[in-house]
Structure 1
Amino acid sequence: PSPLPALIRKKRDGERLEDAEIRNFVRGVTEGTAQQGQIGAMLMAIRLRGMDAAETLALTQAMASSGRTLAWPPAWHGLLVDKHSTGGVGDKVSLALAPALAACGCKVPMISGRGLGHTGGTLDKLEAVPGFRVSQSPEEMRHILARVGCCIVGQSAELVPADRVLYGLRDVTATVDSLPLITASILSKKAAERLSALVLDVKFGEAALYPTQESARELARSLVEVGAHLGIRTAALLTRMEQPLGRAVGNALEVLEALECLGGGGPRDLRHLVTALGHPCPCATPMSLFPPRPYPHRASEPLHVPVPNVPVPQAGVTPVSLSPMSLSPRLGAPPCPCPQCPCPPRLGSPPCPCPQCPCPPGWVQQVRALPLARVLHGLGAGRARAGDPVNPRVGAELLVGTGQHLRAG
């Protein structure tokens, strides 16, 4: 095989890499023979020179084959589904959608990642829950799926180890927005999951990886095409990311808002997106996960049709769904309404802010997600280098929304 510097030079000069050369690069990443500087150089060469469809497919397959492929009982055939978002500000959809799909009869083995750039990561949010363990073996995943229908875990040494290395380095080498690297990162994990179907939330706008709808559409097309070659039924939705999704931004606060959503409450835009993304999944049978509401989006209908005698837990989380992850069922309980309650805030929520100076009356024209995300990132909600700790207590709650009228005071 060609030495890694020769492969880096080849891609740097805009040449096409052969399938065997791509497998050689991924093998060096997985086995540790490739130095971090070499990996970073290859990532930047791919970011600047790109990859064609065949190269992207070969990279995806090589990364998926770098570790163990999950195996499921035959009875689950056609029921294995997953969702992935390209990342946004306040995007806690996975935390609500995974258990919602499980309640509809799906099996959801979700392999997620940590925050990249200013966007939050699902694993970072879950680790805001005391005792939550995102590292699970394939056998433990199968046990959890059999009991509760969904699990959210991180890449391990067994599951797509090549992506675990590349994912962390993309954040610190300014290659987060590379189309072939995004495609391979997302779909290598999904291929290892042996999915039946996949729904993608591809975001565009100021606070998304891709600022324009056209560039996001190009990524969606790449994901759908490569997914089809992998044998996964893949659908993609383009959604705007100019302002935060929901009201909460920050790991601990977003977990609480996801619980509120599962209980039938929470912000309207979050509920709408959860139900819209759940619509394409083939096993998402009608169920009263959320109360029927007059949303204009027809895709939200299947999860809004009420089913008689199917109670919805008030907090959206039952003891059976918490115990497989070694958590206390008390974490899913609603907060105490008494203002004098001595109980500490759940999940280490930050204290309430002090009253601000009086403001004149007016209308809220815009709530920009990107500046807010950058401020929270600088305060510790994100990481500047791979392996940096994240402070789950850093967060913000939006008290107003676009189009809202404010009185003086």
Structure 2
Amino acid sequence: MDLHEQARQILRQNDRGGYTLPTHGLYPYQWNWDSAFAAWGFATFDLPRAWDEIDTLLASQWDDGMVPHIIFHDPDPGYFPGPDVWSAGGDPATSGISQPPVAATLVRLIYEMNPDASRDRLAAVYPKLVEWHRWWHEVRCVHGPAAIVHPWESGRDNCPDWDIGMANVDGSKVGDYTRRDTGHVDPSMRPKKSEYDRYLAMVQFGKSVGWDQKRIVSEGPFLMADPGITFILLRAHHDLAVLGHALDQDTDEIEGWETTLRAALPMIWNDDLQGYDAKDLRTGKFARFLGSGAFLAYLANAARPELDTQLMRVWNAVPYGIPSADPEAPIFDARRYWRGPTWPVVNSLLAIGFRDMGRADLEVRLRRETAELIMKNGFSEYFDPTDATPCGGANFTWTAAIWLTWAGQDYEQAKGAA
């Protein structure tokens, strides 16, 4: 079967009517940033369905503006931690944290595919996106850069960036539990139990304060400035303002958020690392680790010459895509989730940045390497960047979406010319 058609089929198979599963078994609910990428993929062949995805995601927005990271539409006992563990309320129930705010950036890409057909749909979701961005500004950016209160909020759950903050979280009292993820995927590709204990301790703290987000920021066991979300949010502020202009809205507030956040970038620049770095806001210490979150600076037009040097060193160390962690670091693990593998979804965000800064050479190279991964080993969640081994879940929604929107571009053109 043609790869484009395979990708469309994956989206259709994971479609639950208004929302899309990341993949069967491993992730049986609607995930925030996965859903935004799914919408981008649907927009290549079913524009109304793409907007339905965004509508369903934003329908579970909290009263304070937060859009949660998981929406538990239908009960699934095969997933842990489920809605009973979170106890965050909602109908449908949700988790109590957020996820990378890529939605405005992807909504802009979807809108620009067909502005005339999309204007009314955009007008319906725009105010909700503004409220979500306001929540990020007022609740998670109080220390300057965007901060996370749980590694899961970053989307890059177990990346080495969080080790310094995780070390101060007591996971010894979480009680007994049974993980479900390792029943679907090789445990060597997933976070370790010691990490999971701490993840659950953070969930239990949030539950203990009734998911009061400001208390979680001020009192919770974990608070780290996240370069990845900082850059994603910075770019999303810009894209949201562009959408506001398209709707003839006053965007002064949004542009003010962008200016304020950009002014905070020096706080996460680590001269010793010669790169952007995660920072433990409880202790003021840098993670001292270079990961893919730092390279998302290209998405936000925030790169520096020193970062260019680091990017090429890290990228040239592997043959397939940009790894999620520095391959030259002792902690690098080529197949364990966010501690080394390359992720097509992150590659696509980096490529948007390369394209917009006029670096077609970097964008073309990254697209070619990402396409090679998919053409060799299918639509997996992520890949070993050293040998292209597929890792994580199979038939993955956002990998299929990335193929349709970006990675498969040359393949489709070649097929059409044949």
Task: Settle same-fold status: TM greater than 0.5.
Answer: no
Larger proportion of strand:
1
TM-score using structure 2 length: 0.29
TM-score using structure 1 length: 0.30
Q: Which has the larger radius of gyration?
A: 1
Larger proportion of helix:
2
